[in-house]
């Protein structure tokens, strides 16, 4: 039993364990100061924005403090050039989550749509997430401490919410990428609680059909 647990921990807690190394990254030398050392990151941001519409498969691992193994979701994400993020979950249940300027919308497999009630804190989180999606460094720097590190063609960015309303609803957000592609999004609450989204091979400059826009956006 102990071995089984250890194995599970090794398998599934790895991303969180890696994230636990973040103090290395969250240090003064990696801090991005707008107008001072942000030039390389602006180039990356420009490259990411130049992708236009993006679509990619993803795997989302939800780590819960009361569950021994994470809950795993798989699906396809769509990021529109306008900055709306659509997560089409395919397993364990078909459902859709859309995050856009109007807030968060959920649609179940029967097509029932529900809008998540907006409240100031949730709005702040949604807005922040959208800024992340657009890599809008100026807007992000108003609400987050930004840290970044490059290692060859891989890179990591940390968005640490500044103390205040946002920090109560959004945890540290870590974005990992390779070249001009985002590979992983990680939101951590604690060592045992967090969400890690692993993004597969992305298609860029995708043209969403009208039907796709209707189905996956609003």
Partner 1 sequence: MEPARQKFIARLILFVFALVGAFWLLRLDYGRKISTNVIDLIPVDERAPELSLVRSLTDQQQARVLLLALSSGSEAPPAEAVSAFADSLRRSPTIAEVEVLGASETRNALGTFVFERRFDFLLPRWLAEKHAQFSSTGRPASEFSTWLAGDTAEQLDHFLTRAESVAFQELLPSDPLLLVPSLVEKIQSLAVSSSGEVNNHALVWAIVRDSPFSEAGQDPVFGAIESALSEARAIASEVELRWTGVNRFAAESKARIKAEISWLNTASLIGVIGIACLFVRRLWKVLHLVPVVLFSTLGAWVVTTMVFERVHILVFVIGSLLAGVAIDYGFYLYMQPALRPDEPYREKLGRLLKPLLTSCLTTVIGFSLLFWSELPLVQQLGVFVSAGLISAVAVAMLYFAQLDRAFLETRNFSPPSSPRARYIVRPLFALALIVAVVGPWCLHWRDDIRQLEIPAVELRANDAAVRQLFGDAQERTAYLTHGETPALARAALERFTTWHDAQFPHAPATSAGYLLPTEAAWTQRGTLLNALADFPEKLRPALDTRGYTAESFEPFFSAWEDLRAAESPAYASLFTDIRRVLTGPLGLLFHLDENGGPSWFLTLADHPPGAEPPAETSTFGVAQLESLNSLFSRYRADTAKLSIIGLSIIGLSVFVLYGLRRGVRIFMIPAGSCFFALGLLGLLGQPLNLFHLLAAFLGVCLSHNYAIFSAENARRHEPPPPSIRISALTTGISFGVLAFSRIPVISALGSTVALIVFTALLMVELEPLGQTSGHKKPPAN
Binding site for partner 1 (CB under 8 A): 62, 64-69, 71, 73, 87, 89, 92-93, 95, 97, 106, 110-112, 114-121, 123, 193, 195
Phi then psi for residue 10, to 5 deg, are: -65, -40
Q: In whole angstroms, how close is the CB of 157 to partner 1 at the nearest point?
A: 22
Nearer to partner 1 by Cβ, of 121 and 214: the residue is: 121
Q: In whole angstroms, how close is the CB of 28 to partner 1 at the nearest point?
A: 32
Q: In whole angstroms, how close is the CB of 193 to partner 1 at the nearest point?
A: 7
Identify the CA nearest to 186 among candidates 166, 212, 160.
Answer: 160
Structure token digits, residue 161: 């919410």
Nearer to partner 1 by Cβ, of 87 and 137: the residue is: 87
Q: In whole angstroms, how close is the CB of 150 to partner 1 at the nearest point?
A: 31
Q: How far apart are CA 11 and CA 32, in angstroms?
A: 33
CA 86 remoteness from chain centre: 12
Nearer to partner 1 by Cβ, of 25 and 69: the residue is: 69
Nearer to partner 1 by Cβ, of 53 and 171: the residue is: 171
H or E element that contains 31: none
SS (H, E, C) 123-150: HHHHHHHHHHHHCCHHHHHHHEEEEEEE
């Amino acid at each position: 039993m102990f071995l089984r647990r250890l194995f599970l921990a090794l398998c599934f807690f790895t991303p969180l364990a890696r994230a636990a190394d973040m103090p290395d990254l969250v240090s003064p030398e990696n801090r991005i100061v707008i107008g001072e050392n942000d030039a390389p990151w602006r180039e990356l941001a420009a490259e990411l924005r130049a992708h236009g519409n993006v679509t990619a498969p993803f795997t989302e691992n939800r780590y819960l403090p009361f569950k021994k193994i994470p809950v795993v979701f798989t699906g396809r994400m769509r990021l529109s050039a306008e900055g709306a993020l659509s997560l089409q979950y395919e397993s364990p249940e078909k459902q859709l989550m859309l995050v856009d300027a109007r807030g968060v919308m959920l649609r179940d497999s029967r097509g029932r749509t529900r809008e998540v009630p907006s409240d100031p804190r949730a709005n702040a989180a949604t807005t922040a997430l959208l800024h992340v999606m657009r890599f809008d460094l100026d807007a992000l720097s108003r609400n987050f401490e930004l840290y970044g590190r490059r290692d060859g063609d891989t890179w990591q960015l940390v968005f640490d919410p500044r103390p205040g309303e946002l920090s109560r609803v959004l945890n540290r957000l870590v974005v990992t990428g390779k070249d001009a592609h985002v590979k992983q999004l990680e939101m951590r609450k604690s060592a045992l609680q967090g969400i890690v989204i692993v993004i597969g091979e992305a298609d860029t400059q995708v043209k969403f059909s009208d039907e796709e826009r209707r189905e996956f956006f609003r």
